[in-house]
Amino acid sequence: MQDIFPNIRDGRKTVTTAGTAERLVSANTPCRKVTIMAELDNTGYIVIGDSTVVASLSTRRGIPLSAGTSVTLDIYDLYSIYLDAEVSGEGVTFLYQF
């Protein structure tokens, strides 16, 4: 039986400036599925979404992740995922299949 997702890779991304949406990766990165987990030592929320993602509670848009929580997405390109953070320098680790 052939594996549906024969290859995996991993990565890490920190948000430089809280309140500013940043791409998960810097270039087109084809994939089939990604699991994104907020780093265990984060003190604020990381929010996952598209280019309109906002971490600020009063105008939040996207999926908020507290430290150690994760989300899995079926997606064709990691480049389409954005992050924002409540605290500068906090981030995520991720594992993707292609």
The CATH code of the domain that includes 20 is: 2.60.120
Query: Tokens in use for 13?
Result: 């991304």
pTM: 0.92
Q: Please report whether residue 2 resides in a domain.
A: no
Going from the C-alpha of 88 to that of each of 2, 25, 76, 84, the distances in angstroms are 42, 17, 28, 9
Q: How many domains does the chain have?
A: 1
* Mean pLDDT, range 25-49, rounded to an integer: 97
In a domain, 7, yes or no: no
pLDDT given at position 6: 72
- Distance, in Å, from the CA atom of 21 to the CA atom of 16, rounded to the nearest integer, reads 10
For residue 90, being part of any structural domain is answered with yes
The candidate with the shortest Cα–Cα distance to 53, out of 89, 77, 95, 22, is: 22
Query: Does a structural domain hold residue 3?
Result: no
In a domain, 5, yes or no: no
Can you give the residue range of the structural domain that contains 53?
A: 12-97
Classify residue 6: in a domain, yes or no.
no
With CA atoms as reference, report the closest residue to 45 among 68, 23, 24, 26. Answer: 68
Task: Report pLDDT digits (tens) over 51-84.
Answer: 999 999 999 999 999 999 999 999 999 999 999 9
